[in-house]
Amino acid sequence: RPRIGILTSGGDCPGLNAVIRGVVKSAYRLGFETLGFVGGFEGLVDPVRYRVLTPQNTSGILVQGGTILGSTNRGRFGVTVGKDTKLSLPEPLIEAVRQTFEETKLQGLICVGGDGSLSIALELHRAGLPVVGVPKTIDNDLSCTAFTFGFDSAVNCATDALDRLHTTASSHDRVMVLEVMGRHAGWIALHAGIAGGGDVILIPEIPWTLEGIIAKIDDRRRMGKEFTLIVVAEGAELPGGGTVNREAEQTGRQTRLGGIGVELTEQLAQRIDQDIRCVVLGHLQRGGGPTNFDRVLATQLGAHAVRLVMQKRFGEMVCYQPPQIDSVPIAQAVGELRRVPHDSSAVAAARAMGISFGDSMD
Ligand code: F6P
């Protein structure tokens, strides 16, 4: 059988295994054998590590979280600069990848990853290697695709947390701050905030002030609501600029003990006459199995990626442009993240519900 390769790169995400299964099953039916490279792009170079994947040995993985292939988000293909990883693909590294393609007789490689990983895929394509991309991030901030798989699962997790915080906050008349993921964009905070009945949503895209939040808390108390739920995206800037973990970000050594959520809670505690608590949801949002929506989306993306390889449409990335699964050049999708537009219908609906963004438009 001719061979097709797949790897998963960057932070894990519910639905990665569903993509792998989608690729393996559809490739098999088209007469291809699938090699799964282990540990992201690292698996392509010394020591080259792959597993032959079959419909049999991938049976049952649809519902599993994580990735059976493992992943690396900081390896030889990137260097850490601040909170981001910048590409580093010297010629010998590309040559080593080329050699792996030749030795394993790969007809094409499917790279599943976020902005950074897809940028590596793009460089390999530019070097003449047959790669296609599948977009992945719980943050939902990749361009050219309306949703990324993993986002719905993360929102589900954050919504469940809000539902739970709701009952304890109202029992104790407390302000509860929930910090969710979203390094550059506030999609998770926005959707979970709407779905979980949040009162204040703080996102990197909309500048906010402590006064804006306090005004909302006071408003609610005047209406007899003695508790307030605040959802804050980890990338939301502190008023006056800067995220809290700036120093840690510069050294690339974030511990994720809590950032903006903790800082905001401490600052609000000085200013309000009410009990306040903070929960940092962290990697719970990335763990666990995918929702039904993510299973369907990931399966479709996997199957479509195989079609792209068959059609030799290399350098393209599968994407979801409802109602269609489609594809775009990877070059078009990477480099610029998709952030929450101020005038998006979700922001407008949230405002219509009386949800505050901590700004002057309440
Ligand atoms: O990019 C996805 C993401 O979930 C971000 O929201 C978060 O900042 C980051 O991953 C954390 O990744 P890690 O702890 O693996 O470095």
**Known binding-site residue numbers for substrate:** 137-139, 174, 181-183, 234, 277, 283-286
Nearest CA to 98 out of 53, 47, 45 is that of: 45
What Å distances lie between residue 128 and 28, 40, 53, 254, 324, CA to CA? Answer: 25, 19, 25, 36, 29
**Known binding-site residue numbers for Mg(2+):** 115
Atom number of ligand 1 nearest to Cα 11: 15
Residue-wise pLDDT for 39-70, tens only, equals 999 999 999 999 999 999 999 999 999 999 99
Structure confidence at residue 79 (pLDDT)? 65
Among protein residues, the one whose CA lies closest to atom 11 of ligand 1 = 11
Structure confidence at residue 84 (pLDDT)? 65
Amino acid sitting at position 141: D
Ligand 1 mean position to 145 CA, how many Å? 19
Positive or negative torsion for Cα 180, 234, 216, 191:
negative
Residue-wise pLDDT for 110-161, tens only, equals 999 999 999 999 999 999 999 999 999 999 999 999 999 999 999 999 999 9
Among protein residues, the one whose CA lies closest to atom 13 of ligand 1 = 11
Ligand 1 mean position to 173 CA, how many Å? 32
Cα 294 from Cα 284, distance rounded (Å): 16
Atom number of ligand 1 nearest to Cα 235: 8
Structure confidence at residue 362 (pLDDT)? 77
Which of 12, 84, 139, 152 does the annotation list as catalytic?
139
Cα 18 from Cα 61, distance rounded (Å): 7
Atom number of ligand 1 nearest to Cα 188: 6
Ligand 1 mean position to 153 CA, how many Å? 15
Strand order of the sheet with strand 200-202?
A: 200-202, 228-233, 175-180, 276-280
- The verdict on whether 139 is a catalytic residue reads yes
Among protein residues, the one whose CA lies closest to atom 16 of ligand 1 = 11
pTM of the predicted structure, to 2 decimals: 0.94
Structure confidence at residue 341 (pLDDT)? 96
Q: Which residues lie with the beta carbon below 6 Å from any ligand 1 atom?
A: 11, 73, 114, 137-139, 181-183, 234, 256, 286
Regions in the chain scoring below 50 on pLDDT: 247, 251, 253
Ligand 1 mean position to 352 CA, how many Å? 31
Ligand 1 mean position to 12 CA, how many Å? 9
Structure confidence at residue 185 (pLDDT)? 97
Q: Alpha helix (H) ranges present in 241-328? A: 246-251, 260-271, 292-310
Among protein residues, the one whose CA lies closest to atom 15 of ligand 1 = 11
